[in-house]
Amino acid sequence: MINCQHKLRRTLVQIRYDDVMSSPRYIPKVYGRRQGKGFKPRLARLYEDLLPNISITLPDSGKIDIANLVSGSKSPWLEVGFGGGEHLAWQAARHRDVMMIGAEPFIDGVGKLLSLVDEHKLTNVRILHGDARPLMEALPDGTLERIFVLHPDPWPKKRHFKRRMISPWFFAEATRLIQPGGMLRVASDIPDYVRWTLMHAQDAPAFEWMASKADHWRVRPDDWPQTRYEAKALREGRPPAYLQFSRLADT
């Protein structure tokens, strides 16, 4: 592997958090405030009228019938925790032949994405108002071309590490869901979370980190729009890392 990757890995992968999760199947609960202060009339209308038409209902058992969710030959992309929806809507507007699936437990974020879907007349967006983990488990094998996890909650205290989205469970599900040749993108402005992500990526043989020089993780690619979380991080002096992993062919 190229020297800059070796150097960065030696720096980032120094601490093992082996006591955090007793099992790679451990799926933490969603923590934090899920309910906002309430919608203004327009958003209330969108939540009542638009969301039912583009929402995803999880089955009581078994897998989602992906044929009823996605039309056409393109494989869908999934954003885990889409925040205000800027990234998901941007991608949906530029890839109208790709179904963009987003999961977000916080009602304010769902409302913001609904507003963008309505404003830009996006017909290729599907939303789960809830935790992404049950959605991922309900998707059939090889369903996705891409997964995005952008600026997830870092849960900085060690006793809360088990709540982090990036985990052995996550990489196992991403391995199952992303087609060979597909991509996983993770962004964070928290150095410890970057270390954490690369540590778990090292233990996921189906994925290869795509960085060959520092700019590949320091500079945001052109097809990766800025989110409000990134803008806030930059204002506060925390430069993000943009991690891209390629899903290798099954062996």
Where along the chain do its domains lie? 3-13+36-58+73-247
pLDDT tens for 144-184 read 999 999 999 998 898 989 999 999 999 999 999 999 999 99
Q: Which of 60, 153, 192, 215 is catalytic?
A: 153
Query: Average pLDDT, stretch 39-65?
Result: 90
On the CB side of 219, CA atoms within 13 Å amount to 8
Q: What residue spans of the chain are helical by DSSP H?
A: 3-12, 41-49, 51-54, 66-69, 86-94, 107-119, 132-138, 168-177, 191-202, 215-218, 228-235
Residue 74 backbone class (left: φ over 0; alpha: ψ -120 to 50; beta: rest)? beta
The SS3 call for residue 51 is helix
Q: What is the pLDDT of residue 37?
A: 56
DSSP 109-120: HHHHHHHHHHHT
Query: Average pLDDT, stretch 52-72?
Result: 89
Residue 249 has pLDDT above 70, yes or no: yes
Q: Letter for the amino acid at 39? A: F
pLDDT tens for 85-133 read 999 999 999 999 999 999 999 999 999 999 999 999 999 999 999 999 9
Question: What is the length of the chain?
Answer: 251
pLDDT tens for 174-225 read 999 999 999 999 999 999 999 999 999 999 999 999 999 999 999 999 999 9
Q: What is the pLDDT of residue 23?
A: 40
Q: Is 153 a catalytic residue?
A: yes
pLDDT tens for 7-49 read 444 444 433 434 333 344 434 444 444 444 566 788 889 988 9
**Residue 146, both tokens:** 């891409």
Q: Does domain 3-13+36-58+73-247 bear CATH number 3.40.50.150?
A: yes
The pTM of the full predicted model, rounded to 2 decimals, is: 0.85
- CA–CA gap between residue 174 and residue 196 (Å, rounded): 16
Q: Cβ distance 143 to 76 under 8 Å?
A: yes
- Name the band, by pLDDT with cuts 50, 70 and 90, for residue 69: confident
